[in-house]
Each structure stands twice: as C-alpha cells, then as structure tokens.
Amino acid sequence: MEQLEFFDLLSPCIGVCQANNKGYCKGCFRHRDERFNWLTMSPRQQRDVIRLCQDRKRRILATARKKQKELQLDTQPEPQNTLKLDPKE
C-alpha cells in the first residue's frame, strides 16, 4: 500500500545551477532531465530522485576526500632515517 502524500516535495535546488563534467548539477546533484521534469514527476519519482541525489553527493564527496588524502600524502616530506648504523657515532 502506498503512503498518501499530503505535502508537495520541495525541489532540492539550492541555486548553484552549474553542471559538472557528467551533467549533474553541482548544487543539487540532479541530472538535467531530473531538473527539467521535476514539476511533472509524481511524488514517488521525486523521492527516488532525491535518494539518487543523496547517493551521488556521497560518492562525489568520498571521491574528493580520497583525492585530498592522496594529495596530502604526496606532499609530505620523506621520513628521515634516524637509525645510526655505526655505534661509534
């Protein structure tokens, strides 16, 4: 049995409205078709789009964190070898 909808779902738009290289909005993470057809979608379709957007955002942020961590590792200086092999030193 489907849940009754008493309220319209608000658009996830936050006013950034710039597409990334894969065609997803950098602000709300919707694809172009999802943005243009939002008002004609059923509440179930809108909920599905919101779920997809949340998944996309998580993936994009995880990838960005991974790249940031790799950059930090690349810029760290090499550890200095402090082990003295000659006991006279």
Longest dimension (CA), the chain: 83
Answer yes or no: is 6 within a domain: no
Asked whether the predicted pLDDT for residue 86 surpasses 80, the reply is no
Answer yes or no: is 40 within a domain: yes
pLDDT value, residue 34: 96
Answer yes or no: is 89 within a domain: no
Answer yes or no: is 82 within a domain: no
Residue 19 to residues 22, 24, 74, 87: CA-CA distances in angstroms?
8, 5, 29, 63
Residue 14 near residue 27, CB atoms below 8 Å? yes
| Range(s) of the domain holding residue 44 | 11-73
pLDDT of 14-48, one tens digit each?
A: 999 899 888 999 999 999 999 999 999 999 999 99
Q: Which helix (H) or strand (E) holds 51?
A: helix 43-75
In terms of pTM, does the model score above 0.85? Answer: no
Residue pointed to by tokens 């993470």: 29
Residue 64 to residues 16, 58, 69: CA-CA distances in angstroms?
19, 10, 9
